[in-house]
A and B are shown apart, each in its own frame.
Chain A
Amino acid sequence: MPDISLSQILIVSFGLFFIGVYGFLTRRNMITMLMAVELMLNAVNINFVAFNKYLFPHKGDGLFFTIFIIVIAAAEAAVAISIIINLYRKFKSIDSDVADTLRG
């Protein structure tokens, strides 16, 4: 197994994060936006695991945080989907631009 440096892993997570940001900003479909958020969370997860492995090999804090985030992401997905369902009932659409009744 060839050595993989920390910076290479960070490049992957950086790419993953900004794909998520891009997806979140450009997509109008709420489900796609939720998926983009998941991408960003997973980019963070990779960072935690990588930093834990390379900088503090004898500790497990980064791994715990990762597990936390995965659990919270699951809960958040449930909440987000229930919001999306409610939104759909009201607007007959899951396009986020339709729900702009709070504009100034």
Chain B
Amino acid sequence: MMQNYSYIGLVLLIPLVVFLITGLFGKRFQSFSGILGTAGMLSAAMLSYFAAYQYFVVVGRVDGVFPAVIAFKQTWLQFTPSLSIDIGIMLDPISVMMLVVVTTVSFMVHLYSIGYMHGEERYATYYSFLSLFSFSMLGLVVATNIFQMYMFWELVGVSSFLLVGFYFSKPSAVAAAKKAFIVTRFADLGFLAGILILSFYSESLDFQTIIQRMTDYHGSIFLAANAASFMGASALTWALCLIFIGGAGKSAMFPLHVWLPDAMEGPTPVSALIHAATMVVAGVFLVARLFPVFSQIPAALDVVMYVGAFSAIFAAIIACTQTDIKRVLAYSTMSQIGYMMFALGVSGFWGSDGLGFTASMFHLFTHAMFKALLFLGAGAVIHHVHSNEMGDMGGLRKKMPITNAVFLIACLAISGVPPLSGFFSKEEILTAAYNHNMGIYFVGLFTACLTAFYMFRLYLSIFWNKPYVEHSHDDDHHGEAPMTMKLPLLILAAATLVIGFIPFSMYVSADGYAFHSELHIKEAAIAVFAGVVGIVLAIFLYGKQNDKPQRISEFMGRLYQSAYRKFYIDELYLFFTKKIIFNFIATPAAWIDKNIVDGMMNLISNVTENTSEGIRSFQSGKVADYVLWSFIGTLLMLLFVIFF
């Protein structure tokens, strides 16, 4: 039964139109642009919910799987009769899920920003950037064509750049925006190379065609791609690894994670939308989109798994030592995305082997909700305290009871406490890891423990720890944030409470067939135990103000210091760029530019100038001189004619 999904184009079109209106005419009606943006996102969200309902419930399965529907497709650039770049909308379980996630979080952030950004000078500009981002992200998730995805991939990079650098009068924000853009651009170079290799062998840019050709074991295309070898790995492995580099850059996987903590310079709602819930999971989405191909190539999948697992634990360790609350959340995001990545890495393809895939998507879904909630809650706290530092907070629970409650819910969810959403997805991930690779399982378990620890360290430092300190500038201040800021918090908290009960494996699975993923009591118990250990430890250390954390950090000495300094990765990058690239590549290049390239130009201009300087005396303006010269010329010509 064919279904009409043509309205889905509106989901993309509405943010685009809002972007154009607020971008072009926003200055004339500042306050209206917030309402316009929010209303636009609300309607986009409603359309996505309706699409999800239609896709999963009304139409449902065809032959046991949810079919991929091409709602709209238009050839954009035709290279050869068989190779073209198309712009289109593809609906399949993961893209429908992403539509829901992106529009929901985006709507919440739009609503929240009405209060948070109130009185901002560039309020309309902010909303136009947010709409641009929403449009790009939606275009990315529904892409039918890997090149379309790449274009929107760059567009989200641009809007992230614009929003991170929103406070462009702050040098640190400008530096952060540049860093985010440059690091992800480097990663995207890998992505582009991967696309080119993949499409060179599969002779198509279309996702469905690529997947179909690259999973056909006996097809000539698959054999050719798998046989061509370069430095010990097949072309297909290389293509997938390069594409994964692109994904790792956007998703802040080690060692391309350095931009994410700095990106917290942007406004907090932006961090919630872009750097927690949507854009940073684009890498996970990319691997999931190409998962049928990845699952053919164990080597590529192993890369995904190890990078993901290492990033998860690496970021979790750093998060335990940071004092800026947004940076803690940034590292936490990186750690949780590492979780999603290694869940994909441990996943198989068929049936319940694909638990990792389902778990990864499930965690993406639940994480988007509770991490957005954490960021928005942190935004409310920052709005109140006017500081990002944990040291300036403490004892806020009486002052901000609602924020306190929703923050606690989100912290419990991310720590994996039942029955909140994070518990279900995390438990599935750990079960998948347990079935596949014990080493990864233990890394995941330890990370879960650390996650609970640093989240509760954060929570307790903000809301408990010290008695509340009255700030001097507090006179005009309200206890809680305005209603537009509270409402999104409450909605997201409600979502965090219930979405864990969605039977995700019925809808999203690697091979498309539903399977039952029952709760594994043993694994679940171990995971919850790890989380509780972390929570108890955090309460012990940070429940009341004391000097125990201080003593422990002194006891840990070098280890604490290096974790606090983020394991010197930034310094390493600086060393590499400033000392090595600057001295050995940039300086000689500058010398060549200055002395050889510029030198040639200067030579030409100098010769011209000197010559003209020399011959300008001919042009004296005196008639007698001209006559003399013409007379001499005539004589010379005469001599020439006579003697030669």
Contacts and interface: CB of A to CB of B under 8 A. Distances in A.
Interface string A68-104: 0000000000000000000000000000110111111
Interface stretch (B25-33, B196-204, B397-405, B624-632): B624-632
Contact of A100 (B618, B621, B628, B631): B621
A103 B623 contact: no
Contacts of A102: 619, 621
Contact of B628 (A25, A28, A33, A104): A25
A100 B622 contact: yes
Greatest chain B CB density within 10 A among A28, A96, A104 is at A104
B618 A96 contact: no
Nearest to A103: B621
Contacts of B621: 99-104
Contacts of B478: none
Contacts of B619: 102-104
B627 A103 contact: no
B617, B623, B628, most chain A CB atoms within 10 A: B623
A96 B624 contact: yes
A103 B624 CA distance: 13
Contact of A24 (B617, B618, B620, B624): B624
Interface string B604-638: 00000000000011111111100110010000000
A25 B620 contact: no
Interface string B485-526: 000000000000000000000000000000000000000000
A101 B628 CA distance: 19
Contact of A25 (B616, B617, B618, B627): B627
B617 to A, nearest CB: 8
Nearest to B618: A104
B341 to A, nearest CB: 73
Contacts of B622: 96-97, 100, 103
B620 A100 contact: yes
A10 interface: no
A31 interface: no
Contacts of A24: 624, 627
A21 interface: yes
A25 B619 CA distance: 16
**Chain B interface helix/strand/loop/mixed:** helix
B631 A21 contact: yes
Contacts of B623: 33, 96, 99
B631 to A, nearest CB: 7
A96 B616 CA distance: 20
Contacts of A96: 622-624
B628 A103 contact: no
B71 to A, nearest CB: 72
A28 B624 contact: yes
Contacts of A25: 624, 627-628, 631
A97 B622 CA distance: 5
A46 to B, nearest CB: 20
Contacts of A100: 620-622
B170 to A, nearest CB: 56
A100 B626 CA distance: 11
Nearest to B612: A104
Contacts of A97: 622, 624
A104 B616 contact: yes
Contacts of A103: 619-622
Interface string B146-175: 000000000000000000000000000000
A103 B621 CA distance: 4
Q: Which of B616, B622, B628, B631 is the most central at the interface, judged by chain A CB atoms within 10 Å of its CB?
A: B622
B48 to A, nearest CB: 74
Contacts of B631: 21, 25
A96 B622 CA distance: 7
A34 to B, nearest CB: 12
B632 to A, nearest CB: 11
Nearest to B628: A25
Contacts of A104: 616-621
Which of A26, A33, A102 has the largest number of chain B CB atoms within 10 A?
Answer: A102
B626 to A, nearest CB: 10
Contacts of B617: 104
Nearest to A27: B624
A97 B623 CA distance: 7
Nearest to B624: A25
Interface in A2-38: 21, 24-26, 28, 33
Contacts of A33: 623
Contacts of B624: 24-26, 28, 96-97
Nearest to B620: A103
Nearest to B619: A104
A26 B623 CA distance: 11
A33 B616 CA distance: 25
A18 to B, nearest CB: 10
Contacts of B620: 100, 103-104
A103 B623 CA distance: 10
Contacts of B616: 104
A28 B625 CA distance: 11
A104 to B, nearest CB: 3
A26 B624 CA distance: 7
Contacts of A28: 624
A101 B620 CA distance: 9
Contacts of B628: 25
A93 to B, nearest CB: 14
Contacts of A99: 621, 623
A97 B621 CA distance: 8
Given A99-B621, A101-B621, 19 more contacts: A21-B631, A24-B624, A24-B627, A25-B624, A25-B628, A25-B631, A26-B624, A33-B623, A96-B622, A96-B624, A97-B622, A97-B624, A100-B620, A100-B622, A103-B619, A103-B622, A104-B616, A104-B617, A104-B621
26 contacts: A24-B624, A25-B624, A25-B627, A25-B631, A26-B624, A28-B624, A33-B623, A96-B622, A96-B623, A96-B624, A97-B622, A97-B624, A99-B623, A100-B620, A100-B621, A100-B622, A101-B621, A102-B619, A102-B621, A103-B620, A103-B621, A103-B622, A104-B617, A104-B618, A104-B620, A104-B621
Q: Top 6 closest A-B pairs, CB basis? A: A104-B619, A103-B621, A100-B621, A104-B616, A102-B621, A96-B623
Interface of A: 21, 24-26, 28, 33, 96-97, 99-104
